[in-house]
DNA sequence: CTCACCTTGTGAAATAAATCACAAAAGAGC
DNA sequence: GCTCTTTTGTGATTTATTTCACAAGGTGAG
């Protein structure tokens, strides 16, 4: 699989195309046009075609893209044709919400561990899991094949969580803590900062722009 | 306040500068350089200076930026020198986590309403609030001055939630539902899609790139 | 006052991303 | 087989964002 240099925002759009394809496949539609995909995801047809063309020619001119085939290709491109073992660090409210969120599992992201530093939380049962001491992360990651870590700690604990994950060999981190974290080379990080999002809305309202 | 055309990513960076300024102010530091700000937020000094220069000249050459003053200016620019009334639509796990998250209140975002369609959830007490029927949103928004809405429903309910918010005069929406939503002109939307984030990590791992 | 040294503010240049526009397929009708 | 219609794939263009590089402004020492 050739790995072309593609922007992160383009990868996000691939995810959205895939979501739409799942939908229309359930409806039994056989093909979709770049215009259909664009309308569904709020982008332009040209952008859809360019995004897809980075990975090959999946469409038929005059007809569009075959739903089933494009779906399979995008699934493979995004690396979703397998299961990913995920752990959550931080057994607070957010960690609980993430743990119970079904959307992850549906896409092959299986949460196989929850860790915290707080002795009051360690040992509690969460559905099928028990909250573990974060010091056990290293061993657990190897045993269970954890490749993705979700950081749902307060800002103060984020860097420690990330360090432990990185040391345990986890090379992909989704960080919800409102903190800038440092990671060694080769570890991919995506920050989701809810306060920053709200502040961006505050800015938009204040300066009257959509 | 003049509204220069500034990119959304630049606004997000302003939020991060502000966060760092809060930190160093607590430590009593008087001035910071663009290099300090850059290191803290993982960007380049030139970018920091350019971002700030869009709104005026806050720094002193040879010295840096006065922490207290820059903090005050950024707070005003982002519209954080006031309280924002926020409501949550969707009283599920995620809604609960958001409701209890203290980071919002610390920044002046006050959650003053939680709404749902599910009769089983309506009426339940959540701390100081009671889950209300989403049909009451229109009236509540006006009474309580709600200006920002957080959508934390399943994908199926997202468009309905957004429509109700827009009809109630809410002009800023933070959407957590994994769905593309349509909004009338003049309504700002920020999407936070956890599955898309994880899939972007899956892509990164699959194609071996940080 | 002058000099040496910082660090900002900002045009210019470089890089990245989105859009345009159109030739090249491919199916449908006749 | 020929023509008409549709929609892809993509080089060229435009637009947006980031980085560079340096003059201008400010500080403090002597």
| Per-residue model confidence (pLDDT) at position B113 | 98
The 10s digit of each residue's pLDDT in A145-163 is 999 999 999 999 999 999 9
CA distance to A139, A141, B24, B41, B76, per residue, from B34 (Å) = 41, 39, 14, 11, 20
The 10s digit of each residue's pLDDT in B121-179 is 999 999 999 999 999 999 999 999 999 999 999 999 999 999 999 999 999 999 999 99
Mean pLDDT of A97-114: 96
Protein CA A60 to sugar C1' D2 (Å): 21
Which member of A171, A200, A202 has the closest CB to residue B205?
A171
The residues of the protein lying within 7 Å (CB) of strand C read: A 7-10, 43-44, 46-47, 49-50, 60-63; B 32-35, 45-46, 49-50, 52-53, 57-65
Model pTM?
A: 0.95
| Per-residue model confidence (pLDDT) at position B142 | 97
The 10s digit of each residue's pLDDT in A124-136 is 999 999 999 999 9
Q: Rounded to an integer, what distance in angstroms lies between the CA atom of residue A114 and that of residue A123?
A: 10
| Per-residue model confidence (pLDDT) at position B28 | 87
Mean pLDDT of A169-194: 97
Tally of CA atoms within 13 A in the half-sphere of B194 that contains its CB: 27
B51 with B14: CB under 8 angstroms?
yes
Any idea how long chain A is? Answer: 210
Using only the alpha carbons of chain A, give its radius of gyration.
Answer: 20
Please give the residue of chain A at the shortest CA–CA distance from B18: A196
Is the pLDDT at B3 greater than 60, yes or no? no
Beta carbon pairs, A and B, within 8 Å: 190
Tally of CA atoms within 13 A in the half-sphere of B20 that contains its CB: 25
Q: Rounded to an integer, what distance in angstroms lies between the CA atom of residue A15 and that of residue B198?
A: 10
Is the pLDDT at B2 greater than 70, yes or no? no
Q: What are phi and psi of A176, to 5 degrees?
A: -100, -10
Q: Rounded to an integer, what distance in angstroms lies between the CA atom of residue B182 and that of residue B189?
A: 9
Mean pLDDT of A34-59: 96
As ranges, strand D nucleotides with an atom below 7 A of a protein CB are: 5-11, 16-21, 24-27
């Amino acid at each position: 699989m050739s790995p072309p240099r593609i922007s992160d925002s383009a990868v996000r759009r691939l995810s959205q195309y895939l979501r739409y394809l799942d939908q229309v496949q359930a409806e039994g539609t056989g093909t979709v046009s770049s215009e259909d995909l664009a309308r569904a995801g709020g982008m332009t047809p040209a952008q859809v075609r360019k995004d897809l063309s980075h990975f090959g020619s999946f469409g038929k001119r005059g007809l569009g893209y075959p739903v089933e085939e494009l779906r399979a290709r995008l699934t493979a491109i995004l690396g979703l044709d397998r299961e990913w073992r995920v752990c959550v660090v931080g057994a607070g409210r957010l960690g609980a919400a993430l743990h119970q969120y079904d959307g992850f599992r549906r896409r092959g992201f299986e949460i196989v561990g929850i860790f915290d530093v707080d002795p009051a939380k360690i040992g509690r049962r969460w559905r099928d899991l028990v909250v573990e001491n974060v010091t056990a992360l290293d061993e657990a990651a190897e045993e269970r094949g954890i490749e993705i870590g979700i950081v749902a700690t307060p800002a103060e604990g984020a860097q420690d969580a990330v360090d432990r994950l990185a040391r345990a060999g986890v090379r992909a981190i989704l960080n919800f803590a409102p903190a800038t974290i440092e990671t060694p080379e080769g570890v991919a990080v995506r920050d989701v900062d809810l306060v920053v999002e709200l502040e961006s809305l505050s800015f938009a309202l204040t300066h009257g722009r959509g």
